[in-house]
Amino acid sequence: GQQLNQSPQSMFIQEGEDVSMNCTSSSIFNTWLWYKQDPGEGPVLLIALYKAGELTSNGRLTAQFGITRKDSFLNISASIPSDVGIYFCAGRARGSNYKLTFGKGTLLTVNP
């Protein structure tokens, strides 16, 4: 089955720093999604990417769909304490209109 490798597993940064995390897949995806999960809550969609090479921003967040269609990255600029949480990538393969494969997540801690 498809596997997603998400890195890093965790990050501890100072407020104001930029953050970068990425996911790589063993197979091609048609869609890449990035979610954030706060403690005690379900994942919330941050950014959706649908085309290879696509670069999309949502406020201080920027994500890209890799041209090989096997990877994606998420950048957070000028981090703030409320950015704390677990960030997940998820991919949807061709022909799978509902099934998402999730990465294991990146735990982000921001020190004020």
Task: Tell which residue, 94, 85, 96, has the closest CA to residue 61.
Answer: 85
Return the residues of window 10-39 that contact other proteins according to CB under 8 A. 31
Scored b (16 or more CB within 10 A) or e, 62-74 reads: bbbbbeebbbbbb
Taking the least distance from each CB to other proteins, the nearer of 12 and 98 is 98
Choose which of 49, 71, 88, 108 interacts with other proteins (CB under 8 A): 88
Choose which of 12, 14, 40, 82 interacts with other proteins (CB under 8 A): 40
98 is a site residue for other proteins (CB under 8 A): yes
Binding site for other proteins (CB under 8 A): 31, 40-45, 48, 88, 90, 92, 97-100, 102-105
